[in-house]
Chain A
Amino acid sequence: MIRLSWLQFRVQAVTAAAALAAVAVILAATSPHRALNAGFYHWLYMAGIVVLYLTPAMIGAFWGAPLISRELETGTYRLAWTQSVTRTRWLAAKLALAALASMATAGLLSLMVTWWSSPIDQLNVFRNYRLSPLPFGARDLTPIGYAAFALALGVTIGLLLRRAVPAIAVTLAIFAVVQVAVPLGVRPNLIPPVRTVSPLSLSNVTAVGDSVPTTNLSVTAKVNIPAAWVYSSQVTAPDGSTFLGPEPQACISGSNNACNTALARLHLRQVVTYQPASRYWAFQFAETGLYLLLALLLAGFCIWRVNRRPGR
């Protein structure tokens, strides 16, 4: 069965290999490891991120969605399912080969782009953003998980809708929603954040805002943890409540120094909730694992569905 799957999938596989080879040539020719000055590197850097986000979507839409729906649409499932191979084996072979190709494509692409981008990623400007949503999903392992999930999602939608073109559209829409929802709603909860309480250092204070005519005062402070993914930073009173004032007299009428001294006397604290940069790989593994698990669940559903509710 795996031989038939290959026979039917080889055009896609060869196309993907050719595309990967083309990307490899472009990246090797423009490697910032050799020179890092031209302005267009900025564009190539962004293009690498965009391509890595688009690739799993394309895999889901153009490999996943038609994989089964095309058979249902053209009626060839009636040929395939009446050979001497059970539907479970038929689907498992098709899924396994397509999943392998998808993960290899996304993995190799991610490897190349991660390598190409690494000199830029290590610049101070970018190093602080390794854990932030945009580059995180376009580096190292995560694209492999996305590709496997997108493929399984496409196959599932195709199996449910039984038509390739609507399945492609719906797959793209759902995958886009997931790709936005996970960084916003799921990823921050994958690992419980670290919470630190420390005396507020005045050098961290970025803004002191008073609101006339009340004597309320809000103090904002920056976080001095390199490359951390900061969820929140609050300035509190010694008892732990959010500090809202009252504004010391020195800050209303006195000099800056007098105001600072008055603030120091309040013994304010800074509470920071964050993920330290050292958790980068833990997050990579957790998120990739989450997507792979979802892909497996979808694949299991497809096999169940093909056996339980075959045909129309």
Chain B
Amino acid sequence: MNAVIAASSLGKAYRRTWALRDCTLAIPEGHVVGLVGPNGAGKTTLLELAAGLLTPTRGTISVLGDRPAAGPAQLARVGFVAQDTPVYARMTVADHLRMGAWLNPGWDDDLARRRIGQLALNPEERAGSLSGGQRAQLALTLALAKRPGLLILDEPVASLDPLARRDFLRMLMEAVAEHGTSVVLSSHLVADLERVCDYLVVLVASRVRVAGEVSDLLATHRHLSGPRRDPGTLPASQQVIEESHTDKQTSLLVRTSEPVHDPAWAVTPVSLEDLVLAYMNPANEVPARRPQLGVVS
């Protein structure tokens, strides 16, 4: 498995505070990867390190097998849509496309013009007067028309209204389907990720809490509920992610690759949102005695 992003003990400090610390992960190619985590988990820092906008304080990161922003060739292979989708307010839409053509050897002008046409953007309009959704679409167009091998999007839909968000993600999915680009997309809106991602990475406090293909994650996690019981008595193959107890009842979220046969449990599938929330909850940190999750390779 080739990693589009591989980080090892990666850290980034601003003066004395660590925005990302000791982060180790590997994101496989050929996926639309959702990077999810609470605010302050280090998602933006990680993605900006991957785009080469930041340089690591510690550790290493490689993107498509090379140091981020190592040179024009590496830059050409990575498309980046930054948080709040910055564009030049005083330049027109057409100017932005011109910029893309001038600065990117692999620029696909047909693709860019077709998309601007589909979006019904006026090429002579200044980017500063576009709506948030249009601006995000323009930024996505610039990144897509580079024809990158990897497209990184940092909270691209966070500031968009639901309609604009749906349109943006639909456009993204169409483009990905057409060109087979690997995508890494961060968001804290699990519903959005569920719609577009086939691979999920949950990042909490710089650590990967869980990572895997969405279908695998959904297939290997189960809600168990039944009479009150000590989770320590579960079979070794069942790993408790979250537990809650009342006087009489125990309800668990477990990870297991085997079917649950114990008739005492009522077994139900988990939604992606429940799964993500369980992993994001700091109360469910993996204690040291259990095997550490999250290092994927």
Interface residues of A (CB under 8 A from B): 1, 3-4, 7-8, 74-79, 81-87, 308-312
Contacts of B146 in A (CB 8 A): 83-84
What is the bound-complex CA distance between A309 and B48, given in angstroms? 13
Contacts of B142 in A (CB 8 A): 79
| Residue pair A83, B48 in contact (C-beta under 8 Å) | no
What is the bound-complex CA distance between A37 and B25, given in angstroms? 81
Contacts of A310 in B (CB 8 A): 53-55
| Residue pair A79, B87 in contact (C-beta under 8 Å) | yes
| Residue pair A76, B88 in contact (C-beta under 8 Å) | yes
Contacts of A86 in B (CB 8 A): 69, 71-72, 75
Pairs of residues from A and B, 5 with the lowest C-beta to C-beta distance, nearest first = A84-B76, A83-B103, A78-B82, A82-B80, A75-B86
What is the bound-complex CA distance between A309 and B102, given in angstroms? 26
Contact of A79 among B78, B88, B98 (CB under 8 A): B88
**19 sampled A-B residue pairs with Cβ under 8 A:** A3-B102, A75-B82, A76-B88, A78-B48, A79-B86, A81-B51, A82-B51, A82-B53, A82-B78, A82-B82, A83-B75, A83-B100, A83-B104, A85-B103, A86-B69, A86-B71, A86-B72, A87-B69, A311-B54
What is the bound-complex CA distance between A84 and B104, given in angstroms? 5
Interface residues of B (CB under 8 A from A): 14, 48, 51-55, 69, 71-73, 75-76, 78-80, 82, 84, 86-89, 91, 95, 98-100, 102-106, 139, 142-143, 146
What is the bound-complex CA distance between A306 and B73, given in angstroms? 19
Contacts of B87 in A (CB 8 A): 76, 79
What is the bound-complex CA distance between A82 and B145, given in angstroms? 13
What is the bound-complex CA distance between A76 and B51, given in angstroms? 14
| Residue pair B139, A79 in contact (C-beta under 8 Å) | yes
Contacts of A87 in B (CB 8 A): 69
What is the bound-complex CA distance between A311 and B49, given in angstroms? 10
A4, A79, A81, A87 — most chain B CB neighbours (10 Å): A79
What is the bound-complex CA distance between A4 and B142, given in angstroms? 15
